[in-house]
Structure 1
Amino acid sequence: MFLVIGCFNWVGYHLTDALLVNGDKVVGIDYLDHTKKEELVLNIGRNSNFTFYETIDNSKLKRLDPKAIFVFDSTIDFNYKEFSNVRCFTCMHEKRARNNIIEITLPFLYGEWMERMEMGYHQDQAFIRFDSQLFSEDAVYVKDFVQALIQLVDASLLPDSIRYYTPEQAMKKSINKRELIILPSMSNEKRFKKVEVFYRKNSEFH
């Protein structure tokens, strides 16, 4: 079983969906504070392996026995002390002094359900145009990213922080043990065409 904090955060949703597709059980925690999240609930809420809470108290936490924890929303009240022996992957970079917490630096991500504009999208104070070299060489499809993230769960040894790169980025620098390469399932140009079809079909939610 996996615990996903912020399961309807954009990346959290794709991770939750990937785990359920793999046949894993997932307990998800999130606030249903806008219509897009409510739409995402409909996509996975009927899966018998998925249990959802808008809030979770300490008594419920103590009964859980997750294989790993993923945190995508720092605004959700979550007691790390209850899981001191469980690997916790987070993109929040809160610098918590616990040796079981692995901080993940997100690459430039794109894919279904993301917040975007016609010509591109914002991430980490950068604007990535879909027709740019930055997008072509440095962006990572979100489903490729979550599959790479899932593979870390069973890794025998991990550093306290990890950064992902594309193969094109890796060719320009030397990669150390805290940095991993994501191999894309197809080129960004081909994948982007498929994502565009999705957005045209679901334009009312974006």
Structure 2
Amino acid sequence: MIVINNCFHWIGYHLLQKFLEGGYEVMGCDPITSEKREHLSMFVGRNSHFEWMETLPDARKKESDIIYIDVQPHVLFIQLEDNQTHTISTPMLFGEFMDREDDGFEYKDTFISFESKKFNEEAVWIEDFVDILFSLFKENQLNKDWKVKSLSKSMREEEDGDEVIYVRQTDTVSNRLQLIDEHYQQYTNLY
């Protein structure tokens, strides 16, 4: 079983969807404090592999088949079956359901324009990131800390060790931005 804390945060929602699509039992924890989170809960509420709780249980079960993922804005905390916790530092992510303005979004307390060099070099599409995380999970590679970065040349650094995973974009940033614009037009009432 996978337990995802903050499962209706926009990143948590994409993780939740990926694990459900992979056939896993998922328990989602989220107090649903906004209308957007409430709508996201409706997208999965009737899935028989999904169970929702408002908060994480105080005493986590000591069963060997439960993995906890705590979703925070720039890092994921993964607690494995052996109770060891590891982190996955996320890159600048963008995708459906993220909080944004027409021309950009807030990232680490700084407004990032969709037209900026920083965005075009560092941003990673949420689904590409989730696919990487799911691959690490399937290959039992979550037993150490990871840092995920865009594959762009400017993001590669000499001191990057084997704990860095570079994500190759599966489509152009402009095509992804068009998908986000279409999504936001369809779900305007959520924002």
Matches within 5 A, 1:1-206: 1-58=1-58, 61-62=60-61, 66-72=65-71, 85-86=82-83, 100-156=84-140, 160-169=144-153, 172-174=156-158, 175-206=160-191
Aligned equivalent of 1:77: none
Structure 2 stretches lacking a partner, 5+ long: 74-78
Taking the aligned partners of 1:66 and 1:159, their CA distance within structure 2 comes to 15
Cα separation, 1, equivalents of 2:32 and 2:182: 26
Listed as ranges, the gaps of 5+ residues in structure 1 are: 75-79, 87-99
Cα distance between partner residues in 2 of 1:103 and 1:36: 27
Aligned length: 185
Aligned counterparts of 1:104 and 1:171: Cα–Cα separation in 2: 17
Counterpart code for 1:194: L
Deviates more, 1:100-109 or 1:159-168: 159-168
Distance across 2 between alignment mates of 1:46 and 1:184: 32
Deviations along 1:14-50, whole A, 9 cap, x unmatched?
A: 1001111122110111101111110001111111100
Q: Partners in 1 of 2:64 and 2:13 — Cα distance?
A: 21
The TM-score, its normalising length taken from structure 2, stands at: 0.86
Task: Tell me how far 1:58 sits from its aligned partner.
Answer: 4.5
Change (3 A) 1:30 1:66: farther
| Structure with the bigger percentage of strand | 2
Question: SS of the residue aligned with 1:72?
Answer: strand
Q: Is the 8 A contact 2:64 2:81 kept in 1?
A: no
Matched to 1:4, the amino acid is I
Q: Distance in 2 between matches of 1:18 and 1:196?
A: 22
